[in-house]
Structure 1
């Protein structure tokens, strides 16, 4: 499948993912910043015109806006036009959603909720055994594979992940009181979370029977100075990760998109957006801390 050497990324991808794609073997990278139905219409028109893509990279949900692309429609397009769908589900993880039937390759960080303790790093790739591209993907992976994982890191991550299901469900539950809290103040313009907003139904279509909506949300204040004050007085840990057993907050754009911070507000990610990853603490205490 080499009509054109092209890959496409869909939605507001994590900047490091974009950089990896740019440094890869792809000849061209086309970008959709929103992952909306309108942009999927554009993609379909491109494919109908005869142009081909090798792969579509998506996040589900996206990290920072927490929106979800229409994975059912993407799967149908991939089947018709024979391209690989690579999905990153790190923000909510496999405990909450089952997206593997609709993708060819699932990528997930083991550093986040899988570990929870923030004391080890790792990542995983899962190939859909029913993918028509399985043998090609396996050949590419095994052709470049090196076993460099430190044995003690393996022991640590194995120990940390034993109670992942309980931790994820607990963090899911702890998140909703904060969403309700942030929905009330007039100083807050928007709260982003997979359970709310125009793409909530797309996320819900992939949710597991015992799954939930994840523990990551983002908050946008009307006034940047209000966001700065809130962040400064918020008495929780501040750090760049998420999915930890303890609650974390970060002014996301200032870290992840610092060099493009003037360009991203038009995509719904202003410089003063604050990302919060909810942990295992008592939910009443979390609400009190956030409201003070």
Structure 2
């Protein structure tokens, strides 16, 4: 089935009542019926709901659908995109290990991986994802993951994905790709050998800024990379917190299973069933929305490119953009998302543009049906040191736009009067 059909039907059987809409199971706990069933589920001898911190029927349908749309084997939904990033890495690394991070990623991701995880004893190394020429030299026996974004926020840059994956596979290291901006509608990382995908589902999957959620998706046959891999003893040695359970002995997708049984069990960053239900609604229209977002954004990008007060526009869909050839190679039908950034002269001019827009809202989010304007250096990336901002391509004059579903003519008129 195509992605559009999967998004509407996959993973849900209508049951006794024949309800067309997926039911919302707003419950914290479940009646096992008898003591033996309860014991079997906790011992993993029988699959079924245990407690909504671990699993929930509504959430499981969302997980199955996003895994199917991404072309993966299994997914686990989590409370937020940041939590998805944390769990994906914590599932692989521990104190004394290191993670290699792309230079061009969301500011919150940079802070989490380079600063917060440092307090847990996990070191970060940074590589140039545009070329990946420096990647291999950074890998050592303690490297547990290589993390990058398929379309970076806010630089709108596309990494050298095939080279990153080839180097990672040569050293048997797991790759993690944040596919939030591109979404599986425009790009499917598993088609290029990526091991794990994460999303901030709060963005395009939600689509209307209604809910917070994250998701981690594992590729088909990832077990083969994890089993007997000396880099990842946690999948191959007894887990003393689970009576000596060896994950490699379980014929289930190990990566997502361990996130649920070890990390969510203990840390508890559980997605609310209501948010899972809202995200299911978002998936139903994801394909239509993302394509229209992309078409609208290209029109706005062309206008900005022609404006005399705009120094530079970052949008791979533009002919002549430094990322254009990569976009044609990786992305479907030349569509390259609803996110763009552009640069003007200095901080004060950038702020004045934000203050003078009428349709655009100054919001720290992306992927909404309504258009959003953001100044990354003073908001989403303000915690990143100035020298690192420059290296990552984020100047004081950089403005990020998340183009919504309004008429592009109206959006262009708004920007024209705001820029002057």
Tell me what 1:130 maps to: 221
Residue 110 of structure 1, aligned match among 191, 201, 214: 201
Residue 232 of structure 1, aligned match among 352, 355, 374: 355
Cα distance per residue 1:179-227 (max 9 Å; x no partner): 0111012221111123243233223322235x72001001100343332
Cα distance per residue 1:119-152 (max 9 Å; x no partner): 1111111101133335642453132234733232
CA distance in 2, matches of 1:278, 1:288: 14
CA distance in 2, matches of 1:266, 1:80: 28
1:78 partnered with 2:200: no
1:153 partnered with 2:275: yes
Tell me what 1:35 maps to: 129
Cα distance per residue 1:16-45 (max 9 Å; x no partner): 22333343455321112x4232xx222223
Structure 1 runs of 4+ with >6 Å offset: none
**Which of structures 1 and 2 has the bigger CA Rg?**
2
Cα distance per residue 1:214-271 (max 9 Å; x no partner): 0100110034333222221111211000000010001111112223353313432112
1:90 partnered with 2:180: yes
**Kept after mapping to 1: 8 A contact 2:107/2:380:** yes
**Kept after mapping to 2: 8 A contact 1:194/1:214:** no
**Kept after mapping to 1: 8 A contact 2:195/2:218:** yes
Higher strand share: 1
**Kept after mapping to 1: 8 A contact 2:217/2:256:** no
How many aligned positions are there? 285
CA distance in 1, matches of 2:353, 2:415: 8
Question: Structure 2 regions of 5+ residues with no counterpart?
Answer: 1-91, 228-234, 236-254
Tell me what 1:200 maps to: 324
CA distance in 2, matches of 1:160, 1:259: 31
1:268 partnered with 2:393: yes
Tell me what 2:103 maps to: 11
**Kept after mapping to 2: 8 A contact 1:68/1:200:** no
CA shift in 2, pair 1:76/1:289, >3 Å: same
TM-score of the two chains, using structure 2 as the length reference = 0.63
Tell me what 2:403 maps to: 278
CA distance in 2, matches of 1:276, 1:105: 27
Question: SS at 2:100's partner residue?
Answer: strand
CA shift in 2, pair 1:213/1:26, >3 Å: farther
Tell me what 1:222 maps to: 345
1:166 CA drift (Å)? 0.8
Question: SS at 1:58's partner residue?
Answer: strand
CA distance in 2, matches of 1:127, 1:159: 22
Question: SS at 1:173's partner residue?
Answer: helix
Question: SS at 1:219's partner residue?
Answer: strand
Question: Structure 1 regions of 5+ residues with no counterpart?
Answer: none
Question: SS at 1:161's partner residue?
Answer: helix
**Kept after mapping to 1: 8 A contact 2:100/2:138:** no
TM-score of the two chains, using structure 1 as the length reference = 0.89
